[in-house]
Structure 1
Amino acid sequence: MRNVSMLYHFSEEPDIERFFPRLQKAYPHLKPVVFAINEEQALHYCFPRDCPRVIYWKAEWSSEEDIQHYFAETSVDKIIVVENDWLDRIRQTPLYRYTFAEDSFELFDEASTAGYYISYAEAEPVKVERVYDLIGQIVKQRVELRFTPNLHPIRNRIIASTLDFSIIRFRNAKPLNIGGVYDGIN
């Protein structure tokens, strides 16, 4: 296991005393686990649980062309994009950060930069803190927070780029119609 300073789990529930391993729809081959996130990627979870978001950043393998294209007009190394309709929910959603001791967790995927850790055992948080002002917490970091009417165009471009990225809860993004234009249904 790598040396990790903190592991977290974010929830809208304020009073979870124990996390129990459970099956994960996204990883049907995996035994029941408790997921946690490392400190570096914790910012990706300062959002309401179901909020779709596209997060991308410069990586060692990113081409200079992609870095210039996606970061030419900013001084940051990471950009988070969220749909406009989520702004009020981000402002109003109470969020709680649960902190775990790392001893029962292991890195989920050595090849990934996602920062996920898993435990096959029950996990008891050592601390729970309310996270106030989610937007303020996000913009205090060296990131840029952007809002857009629809995530599909940026998602498609980022996936095709050489940038590193994390796409979270995309199933909740607004759909596109056949012509690629937002159809207003969600």
Structure 2
Amino acid sequence: MLYHLSEEPGIEIFHPRPSKSFPDLQPVVWAIDHEHAPHYYFPRDCPRVIYSKPKGAAVEDTGSFFEHTSADKIIAVESAWLERIRHTRLYRYTFAEDSFTLFDETAGYYISLEEVSPVNVEPMGDLLSKLLQEPVELRFTPDLHPLRNRIIQSTLDFSIIRFGNAVPSKYY
């Protein structure tokens, strides 16, 4: 199964739409696989940095970024978003995979060129509780910029979502 997470309840049909992130891509319906769905257990505009250990990552990177954790994936969020995360009502739409194709394996993105009707929709409830049930470590920080700047220079797999909404750094 594939998922789409949204703050909008009651979407009956997902229509292909253009993507701001991929302007050369024709309109599509986006979906995410189960492994990467926790990346989206946040308000839509919440900036976050997600990173994990791929095979072949430099020992220096895994040691530096995962030194004091047993988690293989870490999601970092700005501290200022905590209350919005607590109060956001998010809905998980479930899709059958038949009209979707893999777009980006590292990110878990799938796309469909066709309209898609969900096979199920359910409210997520307490997003922090849902995240704590996943095999990820959740971290809060006042400034995502230092982490982002180090992650993009590393050998780790990473996803940086809605970074344009991050507060301007005091340090960079």
| TM-score, normalisation: structure 2 | 0.97
Q: Distance in 2 between matches of 1:68 and 1:88?
A: 32
* Counterpart pick for 1:172 among 152, 156, 165: 165
For residue 141 of structure 1, report the CA deviation from its aligned partner: 1.3
Which SS does the other structure have where 1:90 is aligned?
helix
Q: Distance in 2 between matches of 1:72 and 1:26?
A: 32
Question: Separation in 2 of the partners of 1:44 and 1:160?
Answer: 21
Matched, 1:22 2:28: no
CA distance in 2, matches of 1:133, 1:43: 13
TM-score (norm 1): 0.90
The alignment status of 1:48 with 2:43, answered yes or no, reads: yes
Residue number in structure 2 paired with 1:144: 137
1:32 aligns with 2:27: yes
* Match of residue 94 from structure 2: 99
Aligned-partner Cα distance in 1 for 2:91–2:125: 9
Q: Equivalent of 2:149, from 145, 150, 156? A: 156
Show the counterpart of 2:60. 65
* Alignment pair present for 1:117 and 2:110: yes
Structure 2 runs not aligned, ≥5 long: none
The number of aligned residues is 172
Corresponding residue for residue 124 of structure 2: 131
Letter in 1 for 2:135: R
For residues 131-186 of structure 1, give each alpha carbon's deviation from its aligned partner in whole angstroms, at most 9, with x where no partner exists: 01101111111211000011100000111111110100111001125x52xxxxxx
**What's the offset of the Cα at 1:24?**
0.7
Q: Any runs of at least 4 consecutive aligned residues in structure 1 with deviations exceeding 2 A, and if so which?
A: none
2:34 & 2:124 partners in 1: Cα distance?
A: 14
The residue number in structure 2 matching 1:88 is: 83
What is the CA RMSD across the aligned residues, in angstroms? 0.9
Cα distance, 1:61 vs structure 2? 2.0
Deviates more, 1:36-45 or 1:168-177: 168-177
- Identical-residue share of aligned pairs (%): 63
